[in-house]
Amino acid sequence: MIDALRSIRVWILSVSLIGAWLPLMAIRRLFDRDPVRYHTGYLFRKLGRALARVNPAWRIRVLGEKVEDPRHPYVVVSNHQSLADIPVVSHLPWEMKWLGKEELFKLPFVGWMMHLSADIKVDRKSARSGAAALIHAQKVLAQKCSVMIFPEGTRTMDGRVRPFADGAFHLAIRAKVPILPVALDGTFDCIPKHTWKFGKPSDILLKVLPPIDTSGFTTDRVGELRELVRTRIMEQVAEWRGVTVADVDGTVKPASA
């Protein structure tokens, strides 16, 4: 009963925030002369932080590297545990254009705000759409704005780190910008599937790892860069959980299986 009441309260506050934020973003967009709508997008990320604050069960800690220049472009990559990752990663204090699946852009309110903030749409079923999205992302990076990608493509089903796709790493090499790995843990049960109730109280950790210079990589070494980044993220998640890297590696068969 307590969980249900808490969830109802959070949903009411969340819907109210989203409804209030849309006109604010529309007004901000009118006066945002930045070619990548940097300020409009950053206002959208602040909504993510506000949504996290109305849920007292989410105890979020942001750790790690400090980004001194918010207009230094990175390809930011993170592991993906649940829908809660979006408001959690939004705590990072700089703007990034998010690569998001096409279906999200069709949603009322949230999808409209994604359009206003100039996030990057991709149809995951279309190779042509994926290529176009990466070309768009490269132009964003050239305008000195970072790009945020979940290279697993979809959230994990068991809390472990799934294989990474190559797109983010091709992008970083071609755009000649560093990769900024971000590790997170604790969100897996925050928004369970197939229920409207939020999960139990959670300690959520988000850590910005040291950037990885891509200048020494060529496109024929994408796999090497991909696995370097994935390993760094898995090492951090494993350290938090007090387990081995193999225990959080979604490509390794669990010992109990």
Q: Is the pLDDT score of 253 beyond 90? A: no
Q: What is the pLDDT of residues 118-144, one digit of tens each?
A: 999 998 888 889 899 999 999 999 999
Q: What is the pLDDT of residues 218-248, one digit of tens each?
A: 999 999 999 999 999 999 999 999 999 999 9
Of 11-15, 87-91, 109-113, 252-256, the poorest mean pLDDT is in 252-256
What confidence score (pLDDT) does residue 1 get? Answer: 64
- CATH code for 2-248? 3.40.1130
Write out the two tokens for 113: 């705000």
The mean pLDDT of the chain is 93
Helix (H) or strand (E) holding 5, with range, is helix 2-30
Domain segments of the chain: what residues? 2-248
Q: What is the pLDDT of residues 160-186, one digit of tens each?
A: 999 999 999 999 999 999 999 999 999
Q: Is residue 158 packed enough to be buried (19+ CB in 10 Å), middle (13-18) or exposed (0-12)?
A: exposed
Q: Is the pLDDT score of 257 beyond 60? A: no
Determine the 3-state secondary structure of 107 from DSSP.
coil
126: how many CB neighbours lie within 10 A of its CB? 12
Q: Is the pLDDT score of 252 beyond 90? A: no
The share of the chain scoring above pLDDT 90, in percent, equals: 82
What is the pTM assigned to this prediction? 0.93
Side-chain half-sphere exposure of 143, counting CA atoms within 13 A: 18
Q: What is the pLDDT of residues 71-87, one digit of tens each?
A: 999 999 999 999 999 99
Determine the 3-state secondary structure of 126 from DSSP.
coil
Q: What is the pLDDT of residues 39-69, one digit of tens each?
A: 999 999 999 999 999 998 899 999 999 999 9
Q: Is the pLDDT score of 256 beyond 60? A: no
Helices 2-30 and 38-53, interaxial angle, to 10°?
170
